[in-house]
Amino acid sequence: MRNLSLEPLDRPEGMPTHEYAHRRLRQAIMVGSIRPGESLTIRGIAEAMESSPTPVREALRRLSSEGALKVLDNRRIMVPKMTVERFGELIALRSVLEQHAARRAVPHVTERVIDRMAEIDQAQDGAIARADNATALLLNQEFHRTLYTANPDQILMPMVESVWLQLGPFLGIAMEHVAQLYFVDRHQEAIAALRKRDADAVAAAIDLDIREGIGGFERSAIEHLLRLAGQ
Amino acid sequence: MRNLSLEPLDRPEGMPTHEYAHRRLRQAIMVGSIRPGESLTIRGIAEAMESSPTPVREALRRLSSEGALKVLDNRRIMVPKMTVERFGELIALRSVLEQHAARRAVPHVTERVIDRMAEIDQAQDGAIARADNATALLLNQEFHRTLYTANPDQILMPMVESVWLQLGPFLGIAMEHVAQLYFVDRHQEAIAALRKRDADAVAAAIDLDIREGIGGFERSAIEHLLRLAGQ
DNA sequence: TAATTATATTTGTGATCACATTCTAAAGAT
DNA sequence: ATCTTTAGAATGTGATCACAAATATAATTA
């Protein structure tokens, strides 16, 4: 196993070790810094974050339930490998899930929420301008999350995040081989539609944002990237 | 904490304790035999299944990631309470998720799969006739699962099961107070549509099955049930 | 009697250890 | 050289223990 380097990440006082481990690993997978096929060892992670196997195991169980990790028959744990078919399923699911989340959120959206989204979008533009892909990615997710969590009874955010998590490792590969991830910005359209409380238009903007953004990879481009990464 | 009784459940040789614990608890929640609001203790569960805290904790972490359990601020763990709003969200999500799963499965469905579904449906009718609600519920799930897993690249089954899991405790309440859960059988329509490989018709049948089945509870009926259960 | 404090118990948490399985690689045989 | 065998190391797993926080129970006070 490669010596994995995990960003220290902020740890609020009183947060249990297993949760901290979960957040750190999750973050690492989300931005694609743990490569597919790479196998993780419990002791290795525990050592890397100066704790013990017990809480790390709990974190790994959660991650595997979230689809971020796969337990092999050997009981070895790894980041699932990406395939063209799986990528297609993930994009299609992401579109359906997030359109639904957006529609359900619209009735609860306040001007305050929309303003917040506009701020995030602006920050993301800044990150893109600096070619800071990882930050742009995180801000893009925060943009979407802000919208969906406007619904107080929302229950599908964990599922949306699960899809993001499964897409993460591929983004890591893409970011390595493509100079800059092209964030097709349908965020302005989404914001405009939100101000009019037009649920259909919001859903359409979200759909386009996904399909023209990360979903816009051609089959051949995906195959090429996966081949480059030795998948 | 009440002395919880977990059905022993079959345990294949070599299955780790944490996974066995996960399956047993999951099963119990799925059929609604653990009541919402009831708080679970790690040691209590470990004792009930004659093991130790460590693997039980791993099982609980997974269940909480699957939405089946909620960790409170006290770090206490309980089955989330149901509300009318949450119930509405769950049904709407279930409909969207399963329609999508069905559509993506249709191209991969073979006659073999359809025959299997017909068998399951027949068994479910038998269970309903015997007023065996728990078995009918499980067979209903198997019917749906058989369809969705026909898609080899399917990735949303865990999410569908998560919704089922979150609906479970409410079904437990409903089964206690309603003589018989009325399974509106749109399964025949689904099977007929599948034989014609008509994806739209299949999705429509699944949608009706959900909305007229468990989703058919009126708001007042849900409130009534929750009040009866002291929620 | 009601409220408050003090004590005891329960509970979540994380580190450690022992055991069995799996993986790695060195040694041997074909 | 290639395959097989074998010894060593690494790894997942589950039980146990100690500690701190939370809860419940008993004792005390107003």
Which of A116-125, A214-223, B124-133, B201-210 shows the lowest mean pLDDT across its residues?
A214-223
**pLDDT computed for residue A5 by the predictor:** 65
Average pLDDT of the residues in A186-196: 97
Q: Do A155 and B93 touch (CB under 8 A)?
A: yes
Question: Can you identify the CATH homologous superfamily of domain B84-228?
Answer: GntR ligand-binding domain-like (1.20.120.530)
The answer to whether the CB atoms of B65 and A65 lie below 8 A apart is yes
Mean pLDDT across chain B, nearest whole number?
Answer: 92
B residues 120..159 contacting A (CB < 8 A): 151-156, 158-159
> What is the three-class DSSP state of B20?
helix
Closest nucleotide to B1 by C1' from CA = C10
- Residues B50-86 have pLDDT tens digits of 999 999 999 999 999 999 999 999 999 999 999 999 9
Best interface-test mutation with B: which of A63, A156, A161, A164 has the largest number of B CBs within 10 A? A156
pLDDT in tens, B214-228: 888 888 888 998 888
**pLDDT single digits (tens) A27-78:** 999 888 898 888 899 999 999 999 999 999 999 999 999 999 999 999 999 9
Q: Is the CB of B42 under 7 A from strand C?
A: yes
Residue B179: the pLDDT is 60
Q: What angle do CA A225, A77, B25 make, to 5 degrees?
A: 125
- pLDDT of res. A1: 45
A63 touches strand D (CB under 7 A): no
Chain B interface disruption, residue of A69, A71, A96, most B CBs within 10 A = A96
Task: Tell me which nucleotides of strand C come within 7 A of a protein CB.
Answer: 10-17, 22-23
Measured CA angle at B62 (ends B59, B66), to 5 deg: 135
Nearest partner of B156 among B108, B101, B196, judged by Cα: B101
Dihedral of the alpha carbons of A75, A53, A33, A211, in degrees to the nearest 10: 60
CB B37 within 8 A of CB B79: yes
CB contact under 8 A, B155 and A100: no
Report percent pLDDT > 90 for chain B. Answer: 70
State residue B2's pLDDT score. Answer: 44
Q: What is the mean pLDDT of chain A?
A: 91
Residue B1: which pLDDT band, with cuts at 50, 70 and 90?
A: very low
Q: Residue ranges per domain, chain B? A: 17-78, 84-228
Grouping H, G, I as helix, E, B as strand and the rest as coil, residue B70 is: strand
Give the tokens for residue B228.
Answer: 């009866």
> Cα(A95)–Cα(A172) distance, rounded to whole angstroms?
21
Best probe of the A interface among B25, B52, B54, B61, by most A CBs < 10 A, is B61
Query: Whole-number Å distance, CA A138 to C1' D4?
Result: 52
Partner-chain residue, chosen from A67, A83, A158, that has the shortest CB–CB distance to B67? A158
Res. B3: pLDDT tops 60:
no
Average pLDDT for B6-32:
90
Beta bridge partners, A78, equal A39, A70
The reply to whether B141 has its C-beta less than 7 Å from any atom of strand D is no
The yes-or-no answer to whether B17-78 and B84-228 have a common fold is no
Q: Determine which of A9-18, B1-10, B87-96 has the lowest per-residue pLDDT on average.
A: B1-10
pLDDT given for residue A107 in this prediction: 98
A17-78 CATH fold: Arc Repressor Mutant, subunit A (1.10.10)
Residue with tokens 């859960």: B181
Write out the two tokens for A74: 């050997």
Considering only the beta carbons, identify the residue of A61, A66, A86 that sits closest to B58.
A61
At residue B154, the pLDDT reads: 96
C1’ D26 / CA B29, Å: 37
- For the segment B137-196, what is each residue's pLDDT rounded down to a tens digit? 899 999 999 999 999 999 999 999 999 999 999 988 888 887 666 667 799 999 999 999
Give the mean pLDDT of A163-192: 85
Are A155 and B104 inside 8 Å of each other by CB?
no
Secondary structure of B139-208 as H, E, C letters = HHHHHHHHHHCCCCCCCCHHHHHHHHHHHHHHHHHHHHHCCCCCCCCCHHHHHHHHHCCCHHHHHHHHHH
pLDDT tens column, B182-208: 667 799 999 999 999 999 999 999 999
pLDDT value at residue A180: 65
Q: Label residue A198 by pLDDT band (50, 70, 90).
A: very high
